[in-house]
Amino acid sequence: MAGADPKWQKDAADQNFDYMFKLLIIGNSSVGKTSFLFRYADDSFTSAFVSTVGIDFKVKTVFRHDKRVKLQIWDTAGQERYRTITTAYYRGAMGFILMYDITNEESFNSVQDWVTQIKTYSWDNAQVILVGNKCDMEDDRVVSYERGKMLAEQLGVEFFETSAKENINVKAVFERLVDIICDKMSDSLDTDPTLMSGGAKGQRLTDAPQGPQATNCNC
Partner 1 sequence: MNEEIDDSEFYHQDFTTASEWEIFIARMEEIINQWKTDEQNSEAPIQQCGIWEIQTEKITFADFEFNLLFYRKKNDFADTSESSEENEKQTKSPIDTLYDFELYNENDYAEHCCLSSWYGLDEYYILTPTGNVGITTESKIKTLLSSAYVVSSSLNCERPIFIQIREKWQRCYLGVYEGDGIRTNFEMVHLRKGPSHCYYLNGLLDMFKSKIMSPSSLDCVTVSVQLKYNLSDFGSFQWKQDHLDHENLDVDILPFGVTVDPVSCLVFKASWNHLADNLVMDSEGHSDFDPMTAPKWSCLVKMTSEPVCLLGDSLLEFLNNLTGNSTVYDMLGDYAALPSVESNPLDLLTEPAVPTITSLLSKAARRSSKSNRGNPPIAESILVSLLYYLFPDADENSGFPYGGKEDKENSEKTNEKGIFKNLEDEFKGFKTCSKDSLTWRLSIVLTHALQSLGGVKALAHIWYEFVQEMRYRWEKSMPIPGLAPGFPDLRTCLLNQKLQMLNCCIERKLSRENSQTQFDSAENSDDEEFFDCWSEKTEEESKRKHSLWNQPVGRLSRFGDMKLLKTGDPLYIPITQEPVLKTEDQLEEDTDVLLKLGSNAEATELRARIMSASLLSDMESFKAANPGSIVEDFIRWYSPRDWVEEEELDEWGQKKGHLSPRMLIEDNNIWVQMWESAKPVPAARQKRLFDDTREAEKVLQFLDFRTIGQICQLTIPVLAHCAIYRLAEEAHLVSAELADAAVKIQSLLRHGERISRDVKFQPRRFEAFVQEVNSLQYKFNPSGAQNETISRMVAYMVTGKEVEIEDKDNSEVGGRIVSMFTEVQKIANLVSNENSESARSATKSVFPAPAEKEFVLRVNAVKPASYSAKCPQFLKAVVNRQEFRLAGAFSDDIAFF
CB of 65 to partner 1, least distance (A): 25
- State which residue, 52 or 163, has the beta carbon closest to partner 1: 52
- Buried b / exposed e over 79-94, threshold 16 CB at 10 Å, is eeebeeebbebbebbb
Residue of 50, 65, 66, 139 interacting with partner 1 (CB under 8 A) = 50
- Buried b / exposed e over 19-43, threshold 16 CB at 10 Å, is bbbbbbbbbbbbbbbbbbbbbbbee
CB distance 154 to 125 below 8 Å: no
- State which residue, 134 or 158, has the beta carbon closest to partner 1: 134
CB of 203 to partner 1, least distance (A): 6
How many helices (H) and strands (E) the chain has is answered by 9, 6
64 strand-pairing partners: 67
Contact pattern for partner 1 over residues 145 through 184, marking x by CB under 8 A: ----------------------------------------
Residue of 20, 23, 25, 28 interacting with partner 1 (CB under 8 A) = 28
CA distance linking residue 163 with residue 154, whole number of Å: 23
Q: Near partner 1 by CB under 8 A, which window of 24-32, 130-138, 146-154, 178-186?
A: 24-32
- How many chain residues interact with partner 1 (CB under 8 A)? 51
Residue 211 vs residues 158, 179, 207: alpha-carbon distances, Å:
36, 29, 11
CA distance linking residue 137 with residue 161, whole number of Å: 11
CB of 60 to partner 1, least distance (A): 9
Q: Does 215 bind partner 1 (CB under 8 A)?
A: no
Q: Near partner 1 by CB under 8 A, which window of 3-11, 130-138, 139-147, 149-157?
A: 3-11
Q: Does 8 bind partner 1 (CB under 8 A)?
A: yes
127 strand-pairing partners: 95
Residues that bind partner 1 (CB under 8 A): 1-2, 7-8, 11, 28-30, 41, 47-59, 72, 78-79, 81, 84-85, 88-89, 91, 104, 121, 123-124, 191-192, 194, 203-204, 206-211, 213-214, 217-219
